[in-house]
Structure 1
Amino acid sequence: MTTRTGSPRVRRRPTRSGVVLEPGLIIEAALRLIEAPGGNALTVRRLGVELGADPSAVYRYFRDLDALLIAIADRLISETLAGFEPGPDWAASLRELGERVHDSMLRHPRLAQLRAVRFTAGPNELRSDDIGIGLLLRAGFPPAEAVRHHADFIDAVLALAAMDAAELAPGQEQTDRQALARTYASFDAAEYPHLAAVREHLPQVTSSPFPGVLDKLIYALRRRAEEL
């Protein structure tokens, strides 16, 4: 468990500012510090200042900073699912779920890598998995296939979203695009004949691969479902 909110030993005493601490309040304060201008400013000491509480009070709710980060990641999954209702077309609903995950990752880029590689084991991740696997079961996939396809699908979405959310230094993305444009315009066609044959299309490789890969994933799942 990432929090100890159900323990009767947690005493909800007011902070110096008169606010009664609870896990949701701590998560929101930590998220503000992570997304503060100038870079991630989250430390337990700064979190105590933000909450107007002794920093050690955080440990009454989260065993350590890592547990707090996992709880934040699970909270962001709830943002992904807010208002989402699967429709009659399982594949269209799965696509929307993937797009929602991608959009949420881009809104919170400093947590994208964490969300891509860690399991939260929290209620929102469980709900997301339940929805995704449920869509695949509805499509007719046997249980084992539904689990495997869902894992492949969501891992691909998370990986692509983490790539798109990666924070580059100011001007770095533009510099990279300009360097690629110069390379594509000047390479030796005799040495790279296949690249030369598609030279005019090469600039598109700098665009996000997410839409195209999502199309391919949904298409492959539809085709597989039709074969069942």
Structure 2
Amino acid sequence: MGGRRTPGQRVGLTREAVLRAALALADREGLKALSMRRLGAELDVEAMTLYHHVPSKDALLDGLVELLVAPIAPPAFETVSWQEGLRAYASQLRTTLLAHPNVISLVATRPAVTAQNLQVMEDALESMRAAGLQPADALDVLYAVTGFVLGHVVTSPDGDPVDQLDGLDPAEYPLLAEAVSKTSPRGTEARFEFALDALLSGLEPNALD
């Protein structure tokens, strides 16, 4: 590999390339390993070069949230209902987060405040307003669905938590043991879909009044 470039040399990097390298590093070694110095080493540039693309560590972390969330934003509800659109959004968000378990906590704790993420939210609210929801209700619905997905992946990132309840003594916990025996074939994904359907049914416009 050639010599290290000078701090001001941009070497053809883009913001997206920096963010994707940061995501790859976090996926491989966790968020604690993510520093500007380490990321610069990954890209074979001085750490200062990265500041041409992300002005701070906070901007880098915000950019990672954008990189994950923005591409799977709720679609325009022109050919499907807003419930169907949000169901697809929730499923895609779950799939994306489970593919990047080391950054789930980042998405859960950092608001989506980059210009791109804010525009994505604006577009989603516009679509939901066109589908009959008021902007305030639409925002609550969007946060409710996103929070539901985050809660699901945080509590069951490695499988079905019900599996941990196998072997309960039915004499001591009769109802819990019965529930586990009857629901265990359902699995994490089916349980997610069941709860998502219940959530979306409760978010019907007449239920929001």
- TM tier, shorter chain? 0.7 to 0.9
RMSD: 3.2
Matching residue of 2:4: none
Residues 193 and 30 from structure 1, CA distance in 2 versus in 1: closer, same or farther, beyond 3 angstroms? closer
Matching residue of 2:3: none
1-structure distance, mates of 2:181, 2:203:
32
State percent identity of aligned pairs: 25
Residues 133 and 213 from structure 1, CA distance in 2 versus in 1: closer, same or farther, beyond 3 angstroms? farther
**Which of 175, 181, 202 is matched with 1:220 structurally?**
202
Matching residue of 1:5: none
Residues 135 and 51 from structure 1, CA distance in 2 versus in 1: closer, same or farther, beyond 3 angstroms? same
Residues 199 and 121 from structure 1, CA distance in 2 versus in 1: closer, same or farther, beyond 3 angstroms? closer
**Which of 192, 200, 206 is matched with 1:210 structurally?**
192
Shift of 1:200: 2.4
Matching residue of 1:9: none
1-structure distance, mates of 2:180, 2:109:
36
Equivalent residue of 1:128, what SS?
A: helix
Residues 156 and 175 from structure 1, CA distance in 2 versus in 1: closer, same or farther, beyond 3 angstroms? closer
**Which of 118, 123, 130 is matched with 1:138 structurally?**
130
Matching residue of 1:201: 182
Matching residue of 1:159: 151
Equivalent residue of 1:111, what SS?
A: helix
Q: Does 1:22 align with 2:4?
A: no
2-structure distance, mates of 1:227, 1:57:
49
Shift of 1:153: 2.3
Letter in 2 for 1:215: D
Shift of 1:217: 1.4
Residues 205 and 53 from structure 1, CA distance in 2 versus in 1: closer, same or farther, beyond 3 angstroms? same
Letter in 2 for 1:145: D
Greater displacement, 102-111 / 200-209: 200-209
2-structure distance, mates of 1:203, 1:154:
25
- Is the radius of gyration larger for structure 1 or structure 2? 1
* Contact 1:44 1:58 survives alignment (8 Å): yes
With the length of structure 2 as denominator, give the TM-score of the two structures.
0.76
Shift of 1:35: 1.8
Residues 61 and 150 from structure 1, CA distance in 2 versus in 1: closer, same or farther, beyond 3 angstroms? same
Letter in 1 for 2:182: H
Letter in 2 for 1:151: Y
Residues 210 and 131 from structure 1, CA distance in 2 versus in 1: closer, same or farther, beyond 3 angstroms? farther
